[in-house]
Amino acid sequence: MEVQAGNLAAARGHFDRSLKAREALAAVDPTSTQAQRAISVSLMKLGDVEMQAGNLAAARGHFDRSLKGAEALAAADPNSAQAQRDLSVPLEKLGDVEVQAGNLAAARGHFDRSLKIAEALAAADPTSAQAVFDVVLLHLRFMEITLREQNPASLRTHLQTAKTLLAEMDRRGQVAGFAQREQLRTLLQNLQAELDGPLKPQR
Confidence of residue 99 (pLDDT cuts 50, 70, 90): very high
CA 160 – CA 57 distance, rounded (Å): 34
Least confident of 51-55, 72-76, 163-167, 196-200: 196-200
pLDDT digits (tens, 9 = 90+) for 119-129: 999 999 988 98
CATH of range 1-103; options 2.60.420.10, 3.40.30.10, 1.25.40.10, 3.40.50.880? 1.25.40.10
Q: Is residue 2 pLDDT above 80, yes or no?
A: no
Which of 136, 139, 83 has its CA nearest to residue 108? 139
pLDDT tens digits along 59-80: 999 999 999 999 999 999 999 9
Tell me the C-alpha to C-alpha distance, in Å, between residue 152 and each of 5, 101, 110, 133, 189: 37, 22, 21, 23, 15
Q: Which of 95, 101, 178 is nearest to 140 (CA)?
A: 95
For 12-42, write each residue's pLDDT tens digit: 999 999 999 999 999 999 889 999 999 999 9
pLDDT at 4 > cutoff 80: no
pTM, to two decimals: 0.88
Q: Running DSSP on this structure, what letter comes out for residue 197? A: S
pLDDT of residue 1: 53
More confident residue, 95 or 194: 95
**80 SS3 class:** coil
Residue ranges of the domains in the chain?
1-103, 125-203
